[in-house]
Amino acid sequence: MDRIAELEKLILEKRRCHLVGIGGVSMSPLAKVLFDRGVPVTGSDMADSETVHRLRDQGITVFLGHRSENVEGAAFVIRTAAAHDDNPEVEYARDNGIPVFERAEAWGCIMRHYKNALCISGTHGKTTTTSMCTHILMAAEMDPTVMIGGTLALLHSGYRVGKGDSIILESCEYYDSFLSFFPTIAVILDIEADHLDYFKDLEDVKKSFRKFAGLVPANSGTVIANIDDENTMDAIRDIRRRVVTFGLSPEADIRARDIRMENGVSSFDVVYKMKSYCHIDLHIPGLHNVKNALAAAAAAIELGIPGETVSRGLAAFRGAARRFEFKGTVNGARVYDDYAHHPGELHALLDAVRSITDGRVVLAFQPHTYSRTKALFEDFAKELSHADKVYLAEIYAAREKNTIGISSADLAAAIPGAVFCPTFPELTEKLRAEAHPGDVILTVGAGNIYTICGELCE
């Protein structure tokens, strides 16, 4: 029996499941989906959190800390990507013949039961575009199930469990996890070299996306691709699937016309095969977000959603948490927080900020992982140097150990005028002293740099 069929059988039989890392951004909604289907669920996490409390309030047992005894009595285990083979709960399960499944396999198993499985992939823009699609499907009253890699104000969380026949998932390429999915509509926003601790190079990344595109049904599925991105178009060349393109190119199936940007609002018409589909007033800045909205509109077209509903859904969208999120002010400077952790994302962020201010841009950046910092070192230095002043926090280790011997101090030395701050209190004080009326201060990175915003903002 293949793994997905085995997992599906265990879920249908409502056998007890244990989730390792249940408090994670995509593990907690998975726990809720399984629990709502009548599967007895337990889980463990390393730290107490609001998410853990919510799960307990729903009747799910959550242990703090990973211990072998937590798994006793479970029929199967689902683990987060951060739980490796040496995790005591994973080790206990395998030593006792309890099958261990990956998080992505579980989501893949679940999405097979939906008529519409909309999977949003790409190196950048996944969370924002998944959030846009959620706004649109909610406006269309399709009651979707949703899994987003960030918090969306509309949902008051990063997920929802609906009763409709559509599921929307942010789909990540890391460790080829999205290859466990079963998309009926696969969106590819863009492709760049990233996660080079797993992929060998850009060609290896493109190979993974090519396999992802090939997962849509040959006769009924659709691949939605960014025609402006050379790597994307190369990855899907000759895939023998229905392809719908979006972008700013006049050759795109779905494109923007008459783009106007003013005071952080992008207004444009969406044109589908030379005919007007809808008008969008997008209340988040940046040309990259115009493209994200086009991708969301393309998905809506494939789902048969009227243009008026797309206009209404996106008019209410104000961004996802940690995606150019306004946090407050300090000394008259506006403070925004953003998740950007790749040079391409930094480029798009700074372009968007320049479109809404003539003031100085002060950027506090926390690199994410040693391997990414080393692999993309020159690109990071180039993009960061476009800010007026740069402060660097130490690298956020995430899943890694610093076997490379690299530090943010090395990056600071490569950027004229950049300042390395080894601690958050020092970084906070430096930013407060730097802030002046009219400035925009950005706290940026996929780690925990966002935690300084409360102390920084008045």
Residues marked active site are found at: 126-127, 170
Torsion of CA 293, 296, 297, 301, to 10 degrees: 170
Q: Nearest-CA neighbor of 176 among 78, 108, 111?
A: 108
Range 6-11 contact pairs with CB under 8 angstroms and sequence separation of 24 or more = 6/99, 7/76, 7/99, 7/101, 7/105, 7/106, 7/109, 8/109, 8/112, 10/75, 10/76, 10/99, 11/37, 11/39, 11/109
Tokens 């005919």 belong to 275
What ranges make up the beta strands (E) of 227-379?
242-247, 254-262, 265-272, 275-282, 325-330, 333-338, 361-365
* Exposed / middle / buried, residue 235 (Cβ in 10 Å: 0-12, 13-18, 19+): buried
CA 251-256-260 angle, to 5 degrees, is 140
Judged by phi (left if over 0) then psi (alpha if -120 to 50, else beta), residue 314 lies in alpha
Burial class (CB in 10 A: 0-12, 13-18, 19+), 86: exposed
Residue that has been written with the tokens 């849509």 in this structure: 216
Closest CA to 387 of 412, 406, 424: 412
CA–CA distance, 361 with 354 (Å, rounded to integer): 8
Q: Which tokens go with 358?
A: 């003539």
93-to-97, 99, 101, 306 alpha-carbon distances in Å:
6, 7, 11, 49
Q: CA-CA distance, 381 to 347, in Å (whole number)?
A: 11
* Separation CA 151–CA 325 (nearest Å): 11
